[in-house]
Chains A and B, each alone.
Chain A
Amino acid sequence: MTTAAMTPLEAVSEILHTKEPWVDTGGVHWLSPGDLKVRDLAKAMNELHARFITITAYQLPGEQGFRMEYHWDLDGCLLGFPFLLAGTSIESIYDLCEAVDWIEREIHEGFGIDFSGREYEPLLLRQGDTMGVNLREEKK
């Protein structure tokens, strides 16, 4: 149970039942999600009244897939949770967090990543009709 005396980071660790250490680097407080599902993370952030900021997608070299960094703000602390994707699909959190709508749609268009459990309307932030042509490296 979170209490008012806890720091924002302690409150997150408590609600996620994790003893993983926070790593402060590059202006972000990072917490490795381990086995945590992104939807459980979104539920926990809602409970803490954290403000969703964005998701940043990175394509990893070779066939390593993608890294998806989810960011929330909690009392001015910038929180980061990196999720590794072996394939091109991750669960959508749109039904839990309305604010992710456009960024999920943008990543879907820019990287061709599927956020399962939601429908998309095009944002038109892409060239042509093909998904993943703008920011995803071409496989030769």
Chain B
Amino acid sequence: MSYKIPMGPYHPALEEPYKLDLICEGETVQDAKLHIGFNFRGIEHLAETRNYIQVIALMERVCGICSNIHTLTLCQAMEGLTGLTPPPRALYIRTIMAELERLHSHVLWAGIAAKLMGFKTMFMTCFELREKVMDVLQAISGNRVNYSMNRIGGVNRDITEPDAILKMVEALELEMARTVIPIFTTSSTARSRCAGIGVLTGEKAISCGVVGPVARASGLAQDIRRAAPYAAYSEMEFDVPVQLDGDVRARLLVRALEIMESCKILRQALAKLPPGEIHTEGEKFPFMTGTATSRVEAPRGEVMYSVSWKEGSRNPARVHVRTPTFAVMPAIRWMVVGARLADTPLIQASIDPCYSCTDR
């Protein structure tokens, strides 16, 4: 006899509200239905009521973790409509901010995954590391969450102390290589909780159109930084970590390896940071009528913005945001089928979901 177990919308295993109706036979999940919308704020509609300055601040609120990515993508799209090209130093600062944000997001996720696996000390270690990244973000931007770094044609603040960032990168790399990665890769507890759990096959990953670390953990080597470089990524050397197993462990490994790659990118960007202006000169620029689109690789995968402008308007006619979790979350249904009920919190956490992004 099958029975339905509702998980959420408010549940100790979920950081944000969403609902998973699990259809179980005994302890085994047979099917699942996902319900979203509990964080719906109507941001796309609100964007139509904001001018080209206000809309940047608004879209920064789409996500609390990757707020910088949203303004970066939006500004890149709006630069497409204004014809403005940010100066080289601004492109490097955008790259540095994006990688710092990836570090902060991935280390936070590693802490949560550790907690769900029962490694509470590792949770504290990861959050201590994350704190160091956030200190650097605060030192650069003055803010810990919404950094207000991006503007049309460049960035708002310069990086004046690259050595401080380098010091943090070195400490993070050391701690990741010494503690976090060995425990995630060699601990028998981590292996038993993650290996073979929540599998998303490569075939299913393609059919669901998943993105980011979830796609790369299922064998798909897709990364917008490599496939369609933006900011200063074309000048960076880095690897795109790919795992083939498609399980929770593969997702964990991909993110852990991506932390090391982010450190590699940060070292290069800080070393090569070109001198010069951080934004284009002059305050006035016209918006071209039409639509522009931009994509970036957020910590959770590809973000895409489509922005449309009408002639003479100060407000966008339409801003459409396709967030990575919106693309990845439907695949949870396939990950939990056949899994034990007790594994479902870790499986759903393994995609690093952001419900605020999804609902907007």
Interface of B is mostly: mixed
Q: With the chains together, A78 CA to B21 CA distance in Å?
A: 35
8 Å CB contact of A53 from B40, B207, B227, B304: B304
Interface string of B206-221 (1 = CB under 8 A from A): 1111000000000000
A side interface size, CB within 8 A: 36
Q: A58-B318, A127-B42 are in contact. Are A99 and B209 (CB under 8 A)?
A: yes
- Check if A54 is an interface residue, CB within 8 A of chain B: yes
Q: In the complex, are the beta carbons of A52 and B304 less than 8 A apart?
A: no
- Other than the given A53-B327, A98-B207, A125-B37, 14 more pairs (CB < 8 A) read A26-B77, A51-B209, A54-B327, A69-B306, A71-B293, A76-B228, A78-B295, A97-B207, A102-B329, A102-B330, A121-B33, A124-B38, A125-B359, A127-B42
Residue on A with the closest CB to B33?
A: A121
Q: With the chains together, A86 CA to B275 CA distance in Å?
A: 52
- Check if A25 is an interface residue, CB within 8 A of chain B: yes
- Check if A134 is an interface residue, CB within 8 A of chain B: yes
Interface string of A32-52 (1 = CB under 8 A from B): 000000000000000001011
Q: Which B residues lie at the A interface, using CB under 8 A?
A: 33, 35-38, 40, 42, 44-45, 76-77, 80-81, 206-209, 222, 224, 226-228, 290-295, 302, 304, 306, 308, 317-318, 320, 322, 326-327, 329-330, 359-360
Q: In the complex, are the beta carbons of A27 and B209 less than 8 A apart?
A: no
Residue on B with the closest CB to A101?
A: B330
Residue on B with the closest CB to A135?
A: B45
Q: With the chains together, A26 CA to B38 CA distance in Å?
A: 33
- Enumerate 7 A-B pairs (CB-CB under 8 Å) in ascending A order: A26-B290, A54-B320, A98-B208, A103-B326, A124-B37, A125-B36, A127-B40
8 Å CB contact of B45 from A49, A52, A134: A134
Q: With the chains together, A121 CA to B37 CA distance in Å?
A: 12
A119 to chain B, nearest CB (A): 13
Contacts of A80 in B (CB 8 A): 293
- Check if A75 is an interface residue, CB within 8 A of chain B: yes
